[in-house]
Copies of this chain bind each other. A is one copy, B any other.
């Protein structure tokens, strides 16, 4: 029954001093654990999370390693009920299962005891910090951010390539630089490549820039994690809260973005995006659990915002508070503002100012700071409870993480790898970074103008700048997806083939379908018995 609220688990592990064992027991049907991958029909051992009970006292959830099936005949051991949970959106090949325990005994050594221990006489040793187990969550969430970026990149590759091949309508304006449209006149039978329609390219390019941003963010969180592990080894927990906050919020934001992006990219393939030949349907369905598991995306953002509020309040009280890293330094500026401070305004004057990435960053920093500050005021004045403010907390986390993404892009452009690129490629990447930041600003404009920081005039300039960046980037569309180097095998898409042979491949794949072959061809199996009789059927008349 408990996915989100792990602390609320019903299953207990009671220490039995007489036999030096724990007894695992699930008191009710709702205590059954659902969804564990590989449990349904495969696993012989499981890590079970249960509430540790010592001498009648509840010490909260702990992890135990439990043999659940016989190594001889694979039957579930006595007292253990296991089932497969049945069909799902995707994940077809994974046997997610459920499990219930009826007074199952395991040895005391089955407690995973790196941090907390139970001695022979049932005495408990606490972990040095209750937050140590967070580092595993940090690791998993950092991996998910990387997966979100990679998945989106895979989708963009498919849709970009297909859009360069797919032609629909003749539009000499859109096809201005298409060699098949010499002097504005299409060659016979030639139509406009849909990639040349600015509205199609806009949809694709926003996902393209997002995929790069997520990839760069995954580099940053991976570095954060390595640094964290090195510190933890030395007993230094100082960066744990910030890293936990950043990875929680980024896991939520990145998987929301990738899931929405993949679906939009699928739709941008028109009807064929709905076919499995596109490579999208199963792929999207398999990606979707990322928004739910390892922390539901709405719940996770509470972690991020709690941390930001705590830091903000500390800075408000003691402006000299040392921050764990740069990514929250904007909170100091927000905390330093008082009701009498002059209202800050965005320093952008000319549209060329929008090419200055630190000016653009300043808008993200200001907006995140304002949202944290407003929420703190609401909560501290008692005008909102924490429970009521969760929609705002979600917005705050989102704003913070969008800033992290903008920073990650900038960080990547300054990286040794980027410096090794030729000037032309670096310029294209920088322009893609502009597009990411400016189009995010455009999409969230309501929050940037809400306190007058960004003016109407500036908002209009941002829209124009997005349009300019899109135009400039168009010639590099295919190169920017080729750069990821996905193989045709991995893409598994007739639409996304590197050689552009879309239609030949569709025909080939489809011709292998069982409905188009053998006993089903040219007439489907079952025609004689099920379908043909309908032709000769007499209308059913009543006997009246």
- Chain A residues near B (Cβ < 8 Å): 1-5, 8, 29-30, 34-35, 40-42, 71, 73-76, 82-89, 91, 95, 98, 168-171, 173-174, 191, 197-200, 202-203, 263, 267, 270-277, 280-281, 285, 288-289, 291-293, 296-298, 385-388, 390-391, 394, 444-446, 449-452, 456, 459-460, 467, 503-504, 507, 509-511, 513, 515-516, 520, 522-524, 527, 531-532, 535
Contacts and interface: CB of A to CB of B under 8 A. Distances in A.
Contacts of A203: 298
A76 B516 CA distance: 13
Contacts of A522: 75-76, 82
Identical copies in the complex = 2
A238 to B, nearest CB: 29
A5 B169 contact: yes
B387 A171 contact: yes
Contact of A83 (B170, B450, B516): B516
B35 A271 contact: yes
A273 B35 CA distance: 12
Given A75-B523, A507-B29, A267 B291 contact: yes
A490 to B, nearest CB: 19
B527 A74 contact: yes
A500 to B, nearest CB: 13
Contacts of A449: 446, 449-450, 456
Contacts of A98: 510
B173 A510 contact: no
Contact of A168 (B2, B169, B445, B520): B2
Given A387-B171, A390-B197, A271 B285 contact: no
Contacts of A531: 42, 74
A116 to B, nearest CB: 23
Contacts of A276: 86-89
Nearest to A7: B169
A289 B270 contact: no
Contact of A271 (B34, B170, B197): B34
Contact of A198 (B170, B390, B456, B516): B390
A344 to B, nearest CB: 14
Given A449-B456, A450-B459, 20 more contacts: A4-B169, A34-B272, A40-B515, A83-B513, A84-B515, A84-B516, A86-B515, A89-B274, A89-B280, A89-B281, A91-B274, A95-B515, A198-B390, A199-B394, A271-B289, A271-B293, A285-B285, A444-B446, A445-B446, A446-B446
Nearest to A273: B292
A277 B89 contact: no
A71 B297 CA distance: 55
B270 A391 contact: no
B199 A275 contact: no
